[in-house]
Amino acid sequence: MTTKHFAQLVALIFSLGGLANTAHAQCDPFAPVWATVTQEQGGDRPGCRGCHIGPNPASGRWFGDTEEDVLAYFTSGAGMILVSGGRQSRLAEALGLVDGIPPFMPRFAPFDGRYWVDDPDQGLTELTDLGNWLDTIDF
């Protein structure tokens, strides 16, 4: 195989890998949201761990600890009220997805903690991911 062909093969393999990731995100729209909410809170971080997410209730409503529990909390538990309405829900308001309503979570942001953003330069699609998942909520 020539170097050029080898380079083309490598490029093909990478693009197939990218497709697989996209397909995964589409079949589980909660996965990227979970990745953001489980980050630590405070500093320049956008997460909710230590308050709403963790092994035990801490501060504010307790969403749960595992991905399965937290998803169930929102889709069939006490948290349904927070996601009802999808992109117009309380959760969407809290994180800054609703036009005209400034985000108010993570708590203490922007002084301690960081609001969610879409920032192509940093490869961040936090609000887009949130919207994609909220689009799957039909109550």
Contact 120, 109 (CB under 8 A): no
Report the residue number, 8 or 119, with the smaller CB distance to ligand HEC.
119
Report the alpha-carbon distance of residue 105 to residue 116 in Å, rounded.
9
Cα gap 118→127, rounded to integer Å: 6
Answer whether 99's CB lies under 8 Å from 92's CB: no
Instruction: With CA atoms as reference, report the closest residue to 89 among 109, 75, 70.
Output: 75
8 Å CB contact between 106 and 48: yes
Considering only residues 25 through 64, tell me which ones interact with ligand HEC, judged by CB under 6 A: 37, 41, 46-48, 51-52, 59-61
| Contacting residue, 32, 34, 85, 90, with ligand HEC by CB under 6 A | 90
Contacting ligand HEC (CB under 6 A), which of 70, 71, 94, 127?
Answer: 94
Q: Which is nearer to ligand HEC, 43 or 100 (CB)?
A: 43
Using CB under 6 A as the binding criterion, the count of chain residues that bind ligand HEC stands at 20
- Is residue 71 part of the contact set for ligand HEC (CB under 6 A)? no
Nearer to ligand HEC, 37 or 127 (CB): 37
Where does this chain touch ligand HEC (CB under 6 A) — which range of 17-25, 70-78, 106-114, 117-125? 106-114
Cis preceding linkage at 103, omega within 30: no
Report which secondary-structure segment, H or E, holds 42.
strand 41-42
Q: Interface with ligand HEC by CB under 6 A: which residues? A: 37, 41, 46-48, 51-52, 59-61, 82, 90-91, 94-95, 105-108, 113
